[in-house]
Structure 1
């Protein structure tokens, strides 16, 4: 079974696997509370999958804080 979107495609958007996991988990919890999804016609029925689809669609992104 192939996961969509692929980890390779997601790492082109966010290069750190740790950041990718943290961002998608936070967004999944937020969606669970609000039931609001930023993309139309999602393929996934699970919140983490929806968050990853939002990252792939450039609806959810991460900006590094300046040090």
Structure 2
């Protein structure tokens, strides 16, 4: 469970829990990949906690277009999976 930063402080910076989780995950991956850190001192030793601290401090902002693009990509992926499952089902009926 997160104790610092508080969820209230985080939601002051981001408009939804979904956006917060996406933003924190993306930033944590950047930190893990060696991206420079935005604060001089962190409470958390983990990249996700550090990402949340950066968000709470206003150093990281949501790019709405990236979240919309991600949602669209997920929808396209689900549609493609459904098509593939349907095709496989038709092929199995032929046998």
Answer yes or no: same fold by TM over 0.5: yes
What 5-or-longer segments of structure 2 have no aligned partner?
66-95
- The count of aligned residue pairs is 66
TM-score after normalising by structure 1: 0.86
In terms of fraction of residues, the more helix-rich structure is 2
- RMSD over equivalenced CA pairs, Å: 1.9
> Relative contact order, CA 8 A, sep 6+: which one is greater?
1
- The alpha-carbon distance between structure 1 residues 3 and 18, as it changes in their structure 2 partners (threshold 3 A), is same
TM-score for both structures, normalised by structure 2 = 0.62
Structure possessing the higher radius of gyration over alpha carbons = 2
Q: Which runs of 4+ in 1 moved over 3 A?
A: none
